[in-house]
Amino acid sequence: MWEVSGTIDAKSEPQVSLIIPNYRGENLLPSCLDSILSQATDVPYEVIVVDDKSDDNSVELINTKYPQVQLVINRRNMGPAAVKNVGAERASGEYIAFLDNDVELGPGWLQAMYSRLRGSDEDVGACASHILLNGYHSLLNSTGGLVNLLGYAWDRGIFKDDSDSYSRNTQVMYACSAAMMIKKSVFDEVGGFDEPFRYLFEDADLGWRMNIYGYKVVYEPVAMANHHLSFTMGKNWMRNLYLYERNRLRASLKNMEADTLKWVRRELAYWFTHRIYREMANGLNTKQKIVLPLRMAQAIGWNLMYLPGTLSRRREIARRRKITDYELMSDGVLCPQIGEPPIGEDPRFKKDDQAGDGHRLPRKVVMAKERDGQLGAGWYEREVDVRGVDFRWMGEKATVFVRGGGKRNQIVLRTLMAHPSELTQVALKVNGRPISTFEVPNHSHLQKIPVPKDVGNGTLEVELDVLNPFLPQRELEIEDQRLLGIAVASLENR
């Protein structure tokens, strides 16, 4: 089923096994692995990457640049849930840390998570970390997750500003598997990830079963990580919606007590139908309005097909149950809420782009007439230079959204000004993938950056990161306290 290479680079037997499922992560793995290998800790650990039959150079990258990493190569694509289980089988540590390949750990992450679990009571089985959206200094991805009576799961604080309300240790239903740690004995006892899920909801389901079996999931606010949310699973919103609804129904059927299901059965049907109506009214095109009900019906059909297996797992969970649904509600991890979860709007994607196929956005951003939904975070107000050309200064980092599928597969960036005394160094990412680093002079300049063909034809999230921004107040001795990167007139995907 798989092949193994690599060695354990540790002076003693590892206490923690860090497992990274990987698929087409050639451009993501270096940042992830470097953040692991530079951890400020004396805890012995091993790193295991399970490659899910990638068709890029991920395997070659690990073999040549990271020989200390154990590499497991699947001979067929299995999906993240199964891949994590494969990695757990190889793990020799007392604790397992699951990490997405698009996560970058803070330097104290491993020590904080290990200490939290090591110093906890025996009934604490797993730990969630403090995950921020990569590229945002204070925008949350997860501080642990909760589930409500309809089976909806959500990460606490997602898309909201970080605040002191998330600074305390607290109990949650599940840990986001982008950056979590669990006792290996507990992982084995509860049966690991549910492989039919493939991805989406597998971490919520794992934590749900842990709570049912009497193991708490706690949150460690000191353990910081940054996550390129949605990159590895893509931005095909309709497929993700289908998988989420499909897996939510299976998890509810498995994990809820019979009396609870009987109590909410009518609400389950109502809110499933309501989700269809709500999405249909969200600016879909004709094709999407046809496909959406079919995909939702497919979610029900899939559950009917897998019903015998689901009921078998349900009987096993019921037999081993130690904590009732009422007790889970009393603990605050199963929320007695009817309705969809309280999730804010993803600030990286505007409403005009929620259809997810990118056709509502043009391929070119022109600062003189930019459209709603094109500019993300990091931009100052529009200005006009002495020639009458509109532009915007960006700060240290800025994001724009354009339609993919350009014939030449290149980003064309037109700039007017930059650092007044040196060449400005700019790093460019597309959909979270590092693409290029280039120099921008302090005059009108046109930069063309090739983009890999496999980036996709949907919406492109283009992130500009200036490595040497400047302060006009210091460099030019003027009353301008902004931190500036480059002055952009337009950006186009050709």
Answer CATH for 351-493 from 3.20.20.80, 2.60.120.260, 3.30.413.10, 2.70.170.10: 2.60.120.260
Q: Outline where 281-380 has alpha helix (H).
A: 286-305, 307-320, 325-331
Calculate the alpha carbon distances from 21 to 58, 209, 280, 386, 399 in Å. Answer: 11, 22, 34, 52, 27
pLDDT of residue 313 exceeding 80 = yes
Answer CATH for 2-233 from 3.30.750.24, 1.20.1260.10, 1.10.357.140, 3.90.550.10: 3.90.550.10
pLDDT of residue 411 exceeding 50 = yes
SS3 call for 380: strand
| pLDDT > 90 fraction of the chain, expressed in percent and rounded | 58
Q: What average pLDDT does the segment 371-381 reach?
A: 79
In whole angstroms, what is the distance from residue 347 CA to residue 137 CA? 13
Q: What are 416-445's pLDDT values in tens digits?
A: 999 999 999 999 998 888 999 999 999 989
Residue ranges, CATH 2.60.120.260, the chain: 351-493
pLDDT bin (cut points 50, 70, 90) of residue 380 is confident
Write down the pTM of the prediction: 0.71
Q: Within 13 A of 107's CA, how many CA atoms are on the CB side?
A: 2
pLDDT bin (cut points 50, 70, 90) of residue 460 is confident
**Buried-state track 380-417, b at ≥16 Cβ within 10 A, e below 16:** beeeeeeeebbbbbbbebbbbbbbbebeebebbbbbbb
The whole-chain average pLDDT of the chain stands at 87
Q: What average pLDDT does the segment 116-144 reach?
A: 90
Look at the alpha carbons of 358, 363, 367, 369 in this order and tell me if their dihedral is positive or negative.
negative
pLDDT of residue 329: 94
pLDDT of residue 357: 42
pLDDT bin (cut points 50, 70, 90) of residue 353 is very low
pLDDT bin (cut points 50, 70, 90) of residue 47 is very high
Q: What average pLDDT does the segment 232-239 reach?
A: 64
In whole angstroms, what is the distance from residue 368 CA to residue 356 CA? 25
Report the Cα 424 to chain-centroid distance in Å.
30
**Buried-state track 314-326, b at ≥16 Cβ within 10 A, e below 16:** beebeeeeebebe
Q: Which helix (H) or strand (E) holds 429?
A: strand 424-430
Residue ranges, CATH 3.90.550.10, the chain: 2-233
- Locate 19 and state its tokens: 């497992």
pLDDT of residue 315 exceeding 90 = yes
